[in-house]
Amino acid sequence: MKKLLTIVTVLLTCLGCTKEKTVERVYIPHIINPGEAFNDYPSEKDSSITFIMHQEKEGKPLGANPKVWYKVKFGDTVVKIQTNRQDPNYSNGKFIRGKFMNTQKTTLLAQIADDFGLKAKFYFISLRNHQLTVTELARQTAKEGNLDNVGLIHLGGEGYLLNNDFLINPVNAKVYFLKREDPEKRIEGQYLMKSPDKGTLVFLRNSSLYQVNYQNDESTSVPFRIDPTQPGLYMHIQENYVWKTKRPGLSFLFEDRNTLATN
């Protein structure tokens, strides 16, 4: 009887060890290229991507070790990302937020947890050609400019504006590269509004409105003659600017001063 109890104890201990074993894999991301597709349909044999929340007893809201964080699993394997492509010893498997960007749930947009907080890097974790791939959402930038323009903004049904550089469609994970005024520098300015047809995004600068039509890859800039920090900004635009259509699917905001306006 004593021997039987010993055997049972050993078996239970071994089973507990098996359950606690975690399989991890570190992925080296590639930089996104224009025109890449991330809308694969899974087959019955493909593993699924899951996004799992963890809550620590202590920690800060953001940072490298936040109180609430998420891990990504592909099947039974925990996904970690080599966030520094030149350093194989630098990997991270903690994320502060994420959301699937297509209806098939084969592409997850996730933001890494590090000391940059809400300005940390974003990645696509995707099932592509029946394999998991990791893509960094970044563009070659020689001049960083104002880091206040770095971050994620939800634009409603049109999707997500990322770092003033990309628009991401939340249905098919299509990524539009927003046309830069300076190819070496991300768009300066605060996102302000979109056109009635939803195809043009307007960015507010100190003395101009920079506009990008992401569907046609065209842009323009028009003067803005009041202090953007003062109240009455949208009223001034309503009274002094009008949307004009250059052709179907392409409209921009142009100055059309109202002679009755006091500004």
Confidence band for 249, pLDDT divided at 50, 70 and 90: confident
H-helix or E-strand containing 126?
strand 122-128
CA distance 255 to 155: 24
> pLDDT tens-digit profile of 77-89?
999 999 998 888 8
> pLDDT tens-digit profile of 45-65?
999 999 999 999 988 999 999
Q: What is the pTM for the complete model shown?
A: 0.87
Phi, psi of 32 (to 5 degrees): -60, 145
Which of 77, 105, 84, 80 lies closest to 95 in space, CA to CA?
80
Confidence band for 258, pLDDT divided at 50, 70 and 90: low
- Looking at every residue in the chain, the average pLDDT score rounds to 89
Q: How many CA atoms lie within 13 A of 61 on its CB side?
A: 2
Given this model, what pLDDT does residue 88 score? 85
In 10 A of CB 208, how many CB atoms? 17
CA distance 249 to 127: 32
Phi, psi of 239 (to 5 degrees): -85, -20
Confidence band for 215, pLDDT divided at 50, 70 and 90: very high
For the chain, what are the domain ranges?
A: 24-139, 189-263
179 CB-contact burial (10 Å; exposed 0-12 / middle 13-18 / buried 19+)? middle
CA distance 141 to 130: 32
Confidence band for 229, pLDDT divided at 50, 70 and 90: confident
pLDDT value at 18 more than 90: no
Confidence band for 154, pLDDT divided at 50, 70 and 90: very high
> pLDDT tens-digit profile of 93-134?
999 999 999 999 999 999 999 999 999 999 999 999 999 999
Given this model, what pLDDT does residue 260 score? 55
In 10 A of CB 223, how many CB atoms? 8
Average pLDDT over residues 209-226: 95
pLDDT value at 37 more than 80: yes
Higher pLDDT, 230 or 68: 68
DSSP secondary structure code for residue 147 in this structure: G
Write down the number of H helices and E strands in the chain.
2, 19
Which pair of structure tokens corresponds to residue 35? 């025109």
